[in-house]
Structure 1
Amino acid sequence: MSKRDIEIRTADGTAKAGLFGKGATAGVILYMDAFGPRPALDEMAERLAAEGYAVLVPDLFYRDAPYGPFDAKTAFTVDESKMALMAMVGGTTQEMTIRDSGAFLDALAAEGVTGPIGTVGYCMGGARALNAAASYPNRIKAAASFHGGNLASDAPDSPYHHVAAIKTRVYVGTAGVDRSFPPQQSARLAEALRSAEVDHIIENYVGMAHGWCMPDHGAFDVAGAERHWKRLTVFFAETLKQG
């Protein structure tokens, strides 16, 4: 594994992060799901790095460190771990992650990643990947979300309020049935992206449940995960690779 542990200075402290891939000039920021950095995310970052990218996996919960670790299959079924996770998810606002994302981009640049940057997020990271693209349109060239929640809710920090600022391509992969991103929100997001003339795809993975991409999640689906990998690698290859 090509992982290197680094520390990133932010406005609020120091975030630990894993950096994968060597010598790549194009980069990807992988925004974690609610269970935090762990071997499953390392595995996913390593696979993405093998496509020719420097992949950064920052700990979005660094303000609450130390915490966990959490088992993605059981954490929400145990009251103690569920309460801890919900407190960290709720306490780590979109505004915080947007602010942190500037430091994440700077960290990649400091590592020699001078080419295009993409973002991809899962679960809670999905909205953050899209909001980062809206907040740093001159630096982020592709943004993807898989089973991201509340992408077009009424909350003011929901990405659909900010799509007019996005200047890049967007891919959204949704679980077939997902209470965190119901059909009404999907239609609302699609309309906002069309109105803003954002190059985008919203794809419904019928039969998949929230979390289907994550290899340690109870909803993991091998075929669905491989379909996600095909879509993501093609999307990034078309958008981030030069020459």
Structure 2
Amino acid sequence: MTSQHITLNALDGSGSFAAYLALPPSGHGPGIVLAQEIFGVNATMRQVADLYAEEGYVVLVPDLFWRQQPGIELGYTEADFQRAFGLYQGFDEAKGVADIQACLDALRQRPECSGQAGVLGFCLGGKLAYLAACRTNADVAVGYYGVGIEKALDEAAQAKGRLVLHIAENDAFCPPEARAAIVSTLAGRAHTEVYVYPGVDHAFARVGGDHFHKPSALMAHERSIAAFKTVMGPHPDFSALWEKHCEHEFATRDVAATMATMVAQPYVNHIPTMTGGVGHTMLSRFYQHHFVNSNPPDTTLVPISRTIGATQIVDELLFCFTHTCEIDWMLPGIAPTGKRVEIPLVAIVKFRGDKLYHEHIYWDQASVLVQIGKLDPAGLPVAGIETARKLLDEHQPSNTLMANWANSAP
């Protein structure tokens, strides 16, 4: 990714303002205007811009406080909060929305932008994203915990394009009555989605913040990217990307080629054994010494089903091998047994743009241990190769581990 600061002219001719521009690795893509929190275009906003650029977007972050004081970059100390609230109270929303329109116009004219452009906003920017949906020609608008949206619900009928709002249940800046008004007013509107995240507070998606809640942030990001992609793209071929990655892992066994299919800082987590790596250096080491060259020669992957979402693939498959070598990532420290193993396996593969970002891999470790003779299944609710056979043939016996199954017969 590359980034730079550019200067734009206000639509009313009153002056010019700076904006941070982040470009995707490909150098081109749909556009997003990122509307700031009340803390200015600070490191947090630039990091969000870089993230969305990695997702494949041309991202422009305007300095919306330029009429009050250009170049504001605040942190999150108590003094910064007081300064930020002062700027917020003096902010002219109408002029801010006009600046967003100027940014949309500028993005669409840039050679890097594919033509369509949307708005993404947080806090103050969350409301501006809603207003942009109502007042500008944004193709899609996504707002996180916008403050004061309930005061502008009379504009909802003018909303154009797709609108997605993320609301924190415990947000004191959007109390229950305000939240209820937003939800009820926007419920059932075409191309409009409102999500309430239970038990979280304002700024739940700000990484490193006091209220950061990773599960909610991940869900919200998934929904945001889905909205942008549905309306504007891009649409990488996740299946082809994933299959090329697997080819390098299991067929050519080429670590460098495997890593080349991934983002700069990827991670892999094999959930049952907690093996893998976070970041390029650790993951390269893991692939080189503990995975790519540590799988038995007869290892095969048998696809069962594939679900493709906005940001990820979920693969259901059979993982089959003969335990002829030590398999560090699955059976670390266990000498080869020569046993045949067939297990259902689920891979959840997340992408950023046209690169793999992370893999969460799940399987039944108890079944593996039963099949290699390291776990006696007698008296335990576990099964061996039968789990794989039943995946392929649903008519295989069910409920064989339930001793009281016979008692429920009619």
- For normalisation by structure 2, the TM-score amounts to 0.53
Q: Which runs of 5+ in 1 are unaligned?
A: none
Q: Distance in 2 between matches of 1:69 and 1:117?
A: 25
Give the match for residue 94 of structure 2: 95
Task: Give the fraction of aligned pairs with identical amino acids, expressed as a percent.
Answer: 26
Higher RCO (CA 8 Å, separation ≥ 6 residues):
1
Q: Distance in 1 between matches of 2:118 and 2:70?
A: 28
Q: Is the 8 A contact 2:41 2:72 kept in 1?
A: no
1:161 equivalent in alignment to 2:154: yes
Per-residue deviation, residues 91-129 of structure 1 (Å, max 9, x unmatched) = 112111122122111221231325221111111111101
The structural deviation recorded for 1:200 is 1.4
Match of 1:240 among 222, 228, 232: 232
Letter in 2 for 1:116: Q
Q: Is the 8 A contact 1:164 1:193 kept in 2?
A: no
Comparing 203-212 and 15-24, the one that deviates more:
15-24
Give the match for residue 42 of structure 1: 46
1:31 equivalent in alignment to 2:24: no
1:54 equivalent in alignment to 2:53: no
The structural deviation recorded for 1:130 is 1.1
Give the match for residue 21 of structure 1: 23
The structural deviation recorded for 1:13 is 1.8
Q: Distance in 1 between matches of 2:43 and 2:34?
A: 14
Give the match for residue 332 of structure 2: none
Is the partner of 1:201 in helix, strand or coil? strand
Letter in 2 for 1:236: F
Q: Distance in 1 between matches of 2:18 and 2:208?
A: 21
Give the match for residue 131 of structure 1: 131
Q: Distance in 1 between matches of 2:45 and 2:129?
A: 15
Letter in 1 for 2:4: R
Q: How many residue pairs align between the two structures?
A: 230
Give the match for residue 141 of structure 2: 143
Give the match for residue 229 of structure 1: 221
The structural deviation recorded for 1:89 is 0.7
Q: Runs of 4 or more off by more than 4 Å in structure 1?
A: none
In structure 2, relative to structure 1, the CA distance for the partners of 1:194 and 1:69 (3 Å cut) is closer
The structural deviation recorded for 1:216 is 4.2
Is the partner of 1:35 in helix, strand or coil? coil
The structural deviation recorded for 1:68 is 4.6
Q: Distance in 2 between matches of 1:45 and 1:67?
A: 17
- For normalisation by structure 1, the TM-score amounts to 0.86
1:177 equivalent in alignment to 2:170: yes
Q: Which runs of 5+ in 2 are unaligned?
A: 236-410
Match of 1:219 among 167, 189, 211: 211
Letter in 1 for 2:225: T
Give the match for residue 9 of structure 2: 9
Is the partner of 1:115 in helix, strand or coil? strand
Is the partner of 2:200 in helix, strand or coil? strand
Is the partner of 1:69 in helix, strand or coil? coil
Letter in 1 for 2:149: L
The structural deviation recorded for 1:25 is 4.0
Letter in 2 for 1:229: H
Q: Distance in 1 between matches of 2:18 and 2:206?
A: 21
Give the match for residue 192 of structure 1: 185
